[in-house]
Amino acid sequence: MGKQSNAMWGGRFTKQPDELVEAFGASIAFDQRLAFYDIAGSKAHIRMLAKQQVVTEQEAQMIVEGLDSIREEIEAGTFVWEQSLEDVHMNIEHHLIERIGAVGGKLHTGRSRNDQVALDMHLFALEEVDVLVTLVTSLQTALCDCAERNFDVIIPGYTHLQRAQPVLFAHHLLAYVWMLARDRERLFGVRKRADLMPLGAGALAGTTFPIDRTFVASELGFTALYENSMDAVSDRDYVIEMLATLSVVMMHLSRLAEEIILWSSAEFGFLELDDAYTTGSSMMPQKKNPDMAELVRGKTGRVYGHLLGMLTTCKGLPLTYNKDMQEDKEGLFDAVDTVKTALRIFTGMIETLTVRTEAVESALRQDFSAATDVADLLVRKGVPFREAHEIVGNMVRYCIETKKPLAELSKMEIQRFTPLLDEQELVALTPQALVAARNCRGGTAPEAVRKQLQWARERLELR
């Protein structure tokens, strides 16, 4: 081997890489995050090699003990990462050889960095999906609890951000519980497709050594193997799917963030956020800003960007491994960290918010959310719906012009539009009555929402 070549992959090289090339190609600054997964994979691999008598039991024990000591140093923060060694795998292997001698070089028997990094990323994805499922479940629980605490609160429901029909506040919150339930299902799907063990694929074609991939899979907790070595080292579908799922989670959080931002404004005044989840102004002492909700709304684009970046990276890659795939890490790491933090913040925000019932009740008194129910009354009296719709539309226009709510129209005023209604029927259409009337499955009536809340909580127990 030439004296200037890299000891981990040298031989045919007589020079070290240019410094700029070395810095540009190194991934150790971010892939050291995979160190514990790399060590776990290496221990399973060397135990398998010993079982298959490719190395001796004594050699395997020396390597396992050396890897354990490296892990201890990493945990203690005293391990020295070297950029010249490119990545987490070569750093660990280099230091292992330094500690236990040439026998440490036997660890790489029957494997490549290609299947090694694939293994580490699979282990990372599996562990982080489990964390994300727990955090999504915690937010769902917080939303259910908030719905229960404020069960009798009725708020205006909106379409086109215009007041439409009254709904229970609990019903509105539960819509997000079901969105997050679908996110959980998607995360379970990611986990299933990440639960494939790639080690043993080698660089791309497998290995000539008598390895036992099933043993390694069992040691690491995998339930399935890649059946094609080329697919094993080149597959990043699960990374893309995980980024796609995280993007949908952030989209849902961003929608909720927008509503929290609107509802906590003076113009709505429906909510007050706890001081712990807001910030002030450096100039205006009266301000209480929903910055955490705004940041989550803003960081949604960041996560979307990581998804698009990974799709673009993979779209033109020939089989099998290409250095482009090094780009699978930073985006996924950042997306995972962003979503985990967003979920934790939203859980605390929902747990501590206060509903301002007086402002909500005031908003309900000022709208025409009973209009659909007035039309339904006419339909029950034989008027075709389209005709009823026009009659009530004319009534609403009259109310706007005279600055009256529907419930305050006199019998004489009502008669201008239809002889089929009287003032008592309109007075009876209170927000409580309007909500209670929608007692279909999935509707906003208290009885229906209680059932929905029960079903939602039962779903939280499912895996």
* Residues identified as active-site: 160, 281
Q: How far apart are CA 193 and CA 190, in angstroms?
A: 5
Q: How far apart are CA 148 and CA 378, in angstroms?
A: 35
Cβ partners under 8 Å of residue 229, min gap 6: 115, 200, 201, 202, 204, 205, 206
Helices then strands, each counted (H, E), the chain: 19, 4
Q: Quick count: other Cβ atoms within 10 Å of Cβ 141?
A: 17
Secondary element (H or E) of residue 355? strand 354-355
Cβ partners under 8 Å of residue 388, min gap 6: 375, 376, 378, 379
Secondary element (H or E) of residue 413? helix 411-415
Residue among 436, 409, 426 nearest 370 (CA): 426
3-state secondary structure of 437: coil
Sign of the C-alpha dihedral computed for residues 168, 173, 179 and 181 taken in this order: negative
For 62-204, strand residue ranges (E) read: 154-159, 162-168
Residue among 132, 118, 135 nearest 31 (CA): 118
Q: How far apart are CA 371 and CA 375, in angstroms?
A: 6
Q: Which residue has the tokens 């991939």?
A: 213
Residue among 17, 34, 36 nearest 83 (CA): 17
Peptide linkage before 320 cis (omega within 30 of 0) = yes
Q: Are strands 154-159 and 162-168 parallel, antiparallel or unpaired?
A: antiparallel
- Considering only CA atoms, give the Rg of the chain: 31
Distance of CA 405 to the CA centre of its chain: 43
Q: How far apart are CA 266 and CA 458, in angstroms?
A: 37
